[in-house]
Structure 1
């Protein structure tokens, strides 16, 4: 089993599937994560995520040095429960994201192809849109016959 730490990525778990949020510093990764946590998501990692290929399934886990910590801008470091989950989708925060994407991108991480969606940051309903992105485009749970 190999692992990689992915910097500048914040991740949350929604119904047991990991949603990775990437973008430059100040783009709203943590703000989106906090909005999703407020709606019931669980923190995986803030500004870094450990990725492990576990038998062909990519699992996101909190880095040991920041496990359970999230930086809330203008507030400071806040502690909360953290978990790990299989990666289902990557949202790339991008102000120029297409309003209606015709094609879904993919990125290979640790040998696993993960759906990638350019995602407009910063409006009031972005957490709800992120949940719909996961439902519509995210990888499903592996079937019992696919497990190693």
Structure 2
């Protein structure tokens, strides 16, 4: 078990698997999280989470300073129900330079755990559906 560490990510849990959403400011991370929540995901954390490697898995937890809060552009910071923890299955980075096609997911090391990682063009909708497909095809299971 490693010590928990903070990471600037937005995170939702889909079917009890955590999806990390990253990218430059203004690319739509929180908006994507809201779209996924509307489709049944649960908020883990917005713009900051805690990660911890335990027994070969990386776990995401809400950051205590922002637990249950998400920024909704033009409305402010609003309360939302949130999950206590979920194992990280995939990292998605919103990136205008994302490749059009991929053959396989990239891999990123977080806390000593290899996590599949994808880059998605932020303006190519429907992002929520693409992320759900990415989790299905590239995300870690069990």
- TM-score of the superposed pair, with normalisation by structure 2: 0.95
Partner residue in 1 for 2:114: 113
Aligned residues: 140
Rounded to whole Å, the distance in 1 between the matches of 2:126 and 2:27 is 16
Structure 2 matches for 1:42-61, cutoff 5 A? 42-61=42-61
Q: Deviations over 1:86-140 (max 9, x none)?
A: 0000001111211211232100001100001011113441100000000000000
Most deviating of 114-123 and 36-45: 114-123
Partner residue in 2 for 1:146: none
Runs of 4+ in 1 over 3 A off after TM superposition: none
Q: CA deviation at 1:59?
A: 0.4
Structure 2 matches for 1:1-148, cutoff 5 A? 1=1, 2-7=3-8, 9-83=9-83, 84-141=85-142
Unaligned runs of 5+ in 1: 142-148
Most deviating of 37-46 and 118-127: 118-127
Rounded to whole Å, the distance in 2 between the matches of 1:122 and 1:30 is 14
Q: RMSD over aligned Cα, in angstroms?
A: 0.9
Q: Secondary structure at the match of 1:32?
A: helix
